[in-house]
Chain A
Amino acid sequence: MGNGPTAGTITKNDSTNGRGGPVILEMRGISKAFVGVQALDAVDLTLHQGEILALVGENGAGKSTLIKVLTGLYQADRGEIILAGEKVALSSPRDAIKHGIAHVPQERNLIPFFSVGENIMLESPPKGRFGLIDFHAVHAEAAKWLDLLNVPVDSRTPVTGLSVAHRQLVEIARAISREGRILVLDEPTASLTPLETKVLFAILRNLRDQGVAIIFVSHKLEEVFELCDSITVLRDGKNAGDQAKAESITRDELITRMVGRATVAQEIPDRSGARGEAILELRHVFTAVGAEDVSLTVHRGEILGLYGLVGAGRTELAKAIIGVEKVVSGEVVVGGRTAHIKSAKDALMRHRIGYVSENRKEEGLIQILSLMSNVSITIWRRLQNAIGWISGRSERKTVQPYVDQLDIKAPSLLTPVSSLSGGNQQKVSVAKWLAAGVELLIVDEPTVGIDVRTKGNILISSDMAEVVRLSDRILVMRHGRITGEIENTHDYAVTSDKIMKFIH
């Protein structure tokens, strides 16, 4: 590996001799299946030296699985990976690193008690006498990369003291410092400010111009068009169309490929007139997990959209509403009366509030249980008979209507929920709240459209189009605060513009 950045190369975007080089990576016919689910089906991807390739697709399309195959975490069932003309087997992350593939994963992966510098240099820290780690050199080297990315943090700081955005930048620094030939970034701008994103993009362009090949996974389409040279789209585990040059495809075409159908302007009933009473009110609420002075109201019959980028604190706010996280000060008013919600059980039983988690697989469902159990989980107590026994028949009778209502596709009620598709899993996660008869349902980052209305809804989303399509009112959230409120006219251009103003 190299010696770190030298002054001359990173200042101006003037050298283009590295751009658009020969093919460095080919993934051909990659297939990967898990228990009951075909995550990838004969996927192809081609990457050139000196190119930034965007990998896009909806949640559940297979992007992360493909990345995990490329970075050695998974091994494909079928297909081959050809690196610089040679077929390779990437049997572990270590292997992938040895082949020059650097990866910034979507979730944070830092060593908690280590310093920033040590995290950056983790794989191969400089050694001194007797083969012992030379920490002076570690921090000197790390400082160079931190400067490059404009991170105002001392290399010796333990990473536990860093903000979310800085942690992401530290991981990016780690990947870049490897100076590999392929750099894979999975949602790298998730927690970054626009300014930090700008700096990152400048560096990525520079790296590209020097011949590095970059894969950029993102669902922020504006960024994709701003930064990337070419685009590959995945949908339901397959390629959706051929790899295309960014210039040759429009945003609408891209969305069509991602979603699989032309987005039709939908008839959304105009609800701006009638508005019911407030079923939930937050008054100057501060939470233990970052919400600051949040005040909002959800009225009967409305869908309140809560828009924000990842890291804005929407999920944490939702979790505070249902009692899983703590409300430190301020008032929560449910149905006109002040409420102290101490747990999700409290929220459900006493206040009839439910929460469909964004993390369906791990928080929203219990994978080893059946479809039926996952729907009935909220109503077991209600289903039990005089001696405390829950009969299979009464359970089936109670659950089936909800399965039908949401059109959940499964071989039987007893199918393990793990073998259902992502979209169906989400429906199951919603069904259990319907079965419980909730009045206010908070839905966090739905991947499939929710056609259900309970008495009131909060829709958390970072998908602008979705929020504009579905919400009656939109709140914009940033860094734990509500920065704006918009009455939705369902006119995408106008509303998205207003939202963007509140985001920055």
Chain B
Amino acid sequence: MNGSLKSALRSEAFVLFIVVLLGLTTLSIFTSQFLVVFNIYVLLYNIALAAIVAYAQMVVVATGGLNLALGATGALSGVIMGMLMEWYGMPLPVVIVAGLAAGALMGWINGFLTVKTGINPFIITLATASAYTGTTMAITNANPFYGIYDSVLSWAQARTGIFPWPAVVTIAVALLLGVLFHFMTLGRQILAVGGNRQAAELTGVPVGRVIIRAHTISGFLAAVAGYLTMARVEAATPTIGNDWLLPGFAAIIIGGVLLEGGRVAVVAVIFGVTILELIANALAINRINPFWVTLLQGSLLLIAVILGQMRRASKAVGVRDLRGARLSGETT
């Protein structure tokens, strides 16, 4: 076997793939309603949506930061799009562009504030999240927009057997992110900033600009997820994104993305998402209390993160040295 095939087999993504296969097999055997066309369709749709949310978080985590305003961004973008449709009847392309631009802008604000103030993005996005949510509430007065265009609705319901056509968006996003992080300068710079910010800075990477761009992309993807959710539930509600935080993180951590930054995993994240959605699906089919989902997501997050830690501890010379650990005495 040649080298790259061997390393692919040993990679984390492969392990997750096996877990997914096992899960699918188990469910198919033990639950009669699982292997039904409609159920698989619903499952794939859930995966497609959750994947975009996970990707939106991943892009920022790659720089070593995070985006707590993800859900709020998705909601506000969705609401803006709903508003443009219901109140102003704008043409669909305008609506979509406006919504995505709004998401990108919100992401940009997060990045800008993070870089300019130097404050931890946790706090920044915690604060902007409530600002965005507040704005959403102000626009909607807590009432959802129901006037979604038929063209959007029918597109959202379109499918071929088990395959939901909106999943094409997810596939496109995954491909683009793959190219971004493997071959494009911006993507490599994002990983460099997350991997060793000081080194990146010393080597001339425009750290501030890169972080802002990462946040902008994140906001944009959140808006994409917001649009898809809105299309699917047939309303632009202010509650979109309320529950994106935990599963978003759980999925990327299961997928092997490091919280300190410097590492992404486009394929593995899909498997991470799949595992989580399989569990949710299995619980739903068996009519188990939906709060078990939260419980299990939290537990899986903890398990994944602890396993990742154990794996790292067993490696010899750490990443610690590379991030600027002193090898000699103090200097001024």
Contact = CB atoms under 8 A, between A and B. Distances in A.
Interface stretch (B36-44, B96-104, B324-332): B324-332
A110 B317 CA distance: 14
A103 B201 CA distance: 12
A103 B324 CA distance: 14
A251 interface: no
B23 to A, nearest CB: 29
A435 interface: no
A160 B184 contact: no
A63 B324 contact: no
B274 to A, nearest CB: 24
Contacts of A123: 203-205
Interface string A107-122: 1111111100010001
A311 interface: yes
B331 A358 contact: no
B87 interface: no
A131 B321 CA distance: 33
A359 B326 contact: yes
Interface in B284-332: 315, 317, 319, 321-332
Contact of B262 (A97, A98, A109, A111): A111
Most B CB contacts (10 A, CB to CB) among A103, A113, A191, A445 go to A113
A444 B196 CA distance: 27
A103 B133 CA distance: 46
Contacts of B199: 109-111, 122
Contact of B202 (A60, A103, A445): A103
A282 interface: no
A105 interface: yes
A127 B205 CA distance: 16
Interface string A351-365: 000000011110000
A20 interface: no
A164 B325 CA distance: 11
Nearest to B196: A111
A167 interface: yes
Nearest to B264: A113
Contacts of A110: 196, 199, 322
Contacts of A358: 326, 328-330
A73 interface: yes
Contacts of A159: 322
Given A94-B204, A111-B199, A164 B327 contact: yes
B179 A132 contact: yes
A94 B326 CA distance: 23
Nearest to B206: A94
Contact of A133 (B184, B326, B327): B184
Given A106-B328, A310-B328, A160 B319 contact: yes
B88 interface: no
B188 A112 contact: no
B192 interface: yes
A109 B196 contact: yes
Interface string A405-436: 00000000000000000100000000000000
Most buried by B among A109, A191, A358, A445: A109
B204 A93 contact: yes
A71 B185 contact: no
Contacts of A298: none
Contacts of B206: 94
B192 A125 contact: no
Interface residues of B, number: 35
Contacts of B201: 92-93
A62 interface: yes
Contact of B204 (A60, A62, A97): A97
A107 B196 contact: no
Contacts of B203: 93, 97, 109, 122-123, 174
Main secondary structure of the interface of B (DSSP, over half): loop
A59 interface: yes
Contact of A93 (B202, B323, B330): B202
A190 interface: yes
Contact of B324 (A107, A125, A359): A107
B331 A59 contact: yes
Contacts of A60: 330-332
Nearest to B201: A93
A64 interface: yes
Contacts of B327: 106-108, 164, 190-191, 310-311
Given A93-B201, A111-B192, A160-B319, A59 B184 contact: no
Contact of B188 (A125, A131, A160, A359): A125
Nearest to B184: A132
Nearest to A310: B328
Contacts of A98: 204
Contacts of A445: 328-330
A39 B319 CA distance: 31
A404 B195 CA distance: 46
A473 B164 CA distance: 77
B105 interface: no
Most chain B CB within 10 A, of A71, A105, A108, A127, is at A108
A97 B326 CA distance: 23
A396 B9 CA distance: 64
B198 interface: yes
B30 interface: no
B213 interface: no
Contacts of A59: 329-332
Contacts of B195: 111-114
A133 B328 contact: no
Contacts of B188: 114, 118, 125, 133
Contacts of A107: 324-327
A65 interface: yes
Interface in A52-91: 59-65, 71, 73
A125 B185 contact: yes
Contacts of A108: 321-325, 327
Interface in B177-217: 179, 183-185, 188, 191-192, 195-196, 198-206
Nearest to B3: A156
A359 B202 contact: no
4 closest A-B pairs by CB = A109-B199, A64-B331, A132-B183, A445-B329
Given A98-B204, A447-B329, 4 more contacts: A93-B203, A111-B196, A159-B322, A160-B319
Interface of A: 39, 59-65, 71, 73, 92-94, 97-98, 103, 105-114, 118, 122-123, 125, 127, 131-133, 135, 159-160, 164, 167, 174, 187, 190-191, 310-311, 358-361, 422, 444-445, 447, 462
14 contacts: A39-B332, A59-B330, A60-B330, A61-B332, A94-B206, A109-B203, A111-B195, A111-B199, A125-B188, A133-B184, A133-B188, A167-B321, A311-B327, A445-B328
Interface of B: 179, 183-185, 188, 191-192, 195-196, 198-206, 262-263, 315, 317, 319, 321-332
